[in-house]
């Protein structure tokens, strides 16, 4: 079996660490692993395949001989170094927002539009926003059967989406309600904050507009109307979404359950009478997208309501990136 040299940029961050774990768990054929991070991480090491591997400082010469470069170190880092990695011959899979809406760069969720990569000739591939990934895994099978007219989504996003310091702030705030607020605009412990990323002139945040624009690009249909409200909630790992789908063709709730139960990597958990529905605490550490609370919308003729949950560090980031690499090989 052919083996590959793989660089992971941002290897000491939450997503970078998860990428290493997923590469190992899924048995990705790695010949050489190169963990890269900023100068601040020099001297640190990561564990991979039973070995401790020293972290190297990211530089313009880091990518020589690399087959894949997985980026998770922030958009500014990707903008500077991803083109360098690509020009060095590596296939770049970028987990940041740097290239997602570039017309000539594919934005991929393998279960939804992996066929786009049949014509990929090398360069950069963008990994979508975590909330978008789990959303489109549910939308695509519905769209294929009933054609979606409009989507209204409210996200309930865990603090891990904001990094390691955010988890610490939640834990500290849970012990001390008077702790200093650093990562978020307000205290996150015992609170919900309807504010992720910066606000734009139209009143939407950038996080909300990522969901809107990325969904249309991945689905390959600009006619789908999408609106989003993104909320940060006091959950450690796992993003949840309330999703309202209006279709052109009538679907019953049972129709939707059957369609989704056959969708790749989607697990239906939908027995509300037994208090059985997707929960963030159960999705943590899993790679599937979970959907439940499936019901017909009583306010419109052709509408389906559902609740969607996934691990934002895994399927929402690291696992999706590794799946892209697997698809290419």
**pLDDT for residue 208:** 98
Q: How confident is the model at residue 251 (pLDDT cuts 50, 70, 90)?
A: very high
Q: Assess if CATH 3.30.70.3000 describes domain 4-128+317-328.
A: no
Q: Domain 131-312 has what CATH class?
A: alpha beta
Which residues contact residue 27 at a Cβ distance below 8 angstroms, ignoring those fewer than 6 apart? none
- pTM, full prediction: 0.96
pLDDT given at position 21 = 97
pLDDT value for 59? 96
Q: Is 119 helix (H, G, I), strand (E, B) or coil?
A: helix
Cα 75 from chain centre: 15
pLDDT of residue 42: 82
| pLDDT at residue 41 in the model | 86
Over residues 1-53, the pLDDT tens digits come to 799 999 999 999 999 999 999 999 999 999 999 999 998 888 899 999 999 99
226-246 pLDDT, tens digit each: 999 999 999 999 999 999 999
Segment 268-317, tens digit of pLDDT: 999 999 999 999 999 999 999 999 999 999 999 999 999 999 999 999 99
First to last CA, the chain: 11
Banded pLDDT at 72 (limits 50, 70, 90): very high
The full set of domain ranges for the chain reads 4-128+317-328, 131-312
With vertex at residue 288, the alpha carbon angle to CA 283 and CA 290, rounded to the nearest 5 degrees, is 65
pLDDT digits (tens, 9 = 90+) for 218-229: 999 999 999 999
Q: What is the pLDDT of residues 125-180, one digit of tens each?
A: 999 999 999 999 999 999 999 999 999 999 999 999 999 999 999 999 999 988 99
Q: What tens digit of pLDDT does each residue of 184-219 get?
A: 999 999 999 999 999 999 999 999 999 999 999 999
Catalytic residue annotation: 130, 239
pLDDT of residue 47: 95
Q: CA-to-CA distance for 216 and 35, rounded, in angstroms?
A: 33
Q: What is the DSSP letter of 82?
A: H
Residue percentage of the chain with pLDDT more than 90: 97
- Nearest 5°: the CA angle 214, 8, 64 is 110
d(CA 257, CA 292): 9
Q: In this predicted structure, what is the pLDDT of residue 244?
A: 98
């Amino acid at each position: 079996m052919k083996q590959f040299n793989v660089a992971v940029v941002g290897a000491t961050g939450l997503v970078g660490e998860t990428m290493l774990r997923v590469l190992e768990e899924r048995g990705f054929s790695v010949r050489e692993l190169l963990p890269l991070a900023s100068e601040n991480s020099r001297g640190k090491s990561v564990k991979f395949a039973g070995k401790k591997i020293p972290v190297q400082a990211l530089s313009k010469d880091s990518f020589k001989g690399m087959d894949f470069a997985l980026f998770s170190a922030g958009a500014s880092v990707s903008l500077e170094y991803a083109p360098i990695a690509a020009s060095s011959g590596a296939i770049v899979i970028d987990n940041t927002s740097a290239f997602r809406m570039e017309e000539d760069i594919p934005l991929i969720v393998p279960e939804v539009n992996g066929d786009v990569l049949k014509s990929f000739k090398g360069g950069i591939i963008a990994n979508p926003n975590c909330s978008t990934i789990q959303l489109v895994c549910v939308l695509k099978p519905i769209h294929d059967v009933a054609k979606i007219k409009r989507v209204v989504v409210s996200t309930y996003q865990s603090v891990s989406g904001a990094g390691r310091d955010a988890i610490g702030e939640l834990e500290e705030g849970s012990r001390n309600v008077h702790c200093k607020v650093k990562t978020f605009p307000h205290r996150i412990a015992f609170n919900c904050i309807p504010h992720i990323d910066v606000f734009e002139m139209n009143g939407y945040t950038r996080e909300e507009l990522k969901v809107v624009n990325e969904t249309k690009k991945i689905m390959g249909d600009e006619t789908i109307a999408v609106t989003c409200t993104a909320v940060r909630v006091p959950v450690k790992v796992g993003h949840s979404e309330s999703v309202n789908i209006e279709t052109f063709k009538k679907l019953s709730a049972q129709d939707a359950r059957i369609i989704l139960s056959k969708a790749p990597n989607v697990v239906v958990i939908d027995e509300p009478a037994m208090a059985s529905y997707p929960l963030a605490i159960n999705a943590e550490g899993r790679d599937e997208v979970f959907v439940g609370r499936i019901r017909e919308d009583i306010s419109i003729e052709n509408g389906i309501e559902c609740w969607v949950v996934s691990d934002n560090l895994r399927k929402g980031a690291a696992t999706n990136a590794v799946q892209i690499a697997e698809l290419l090989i």
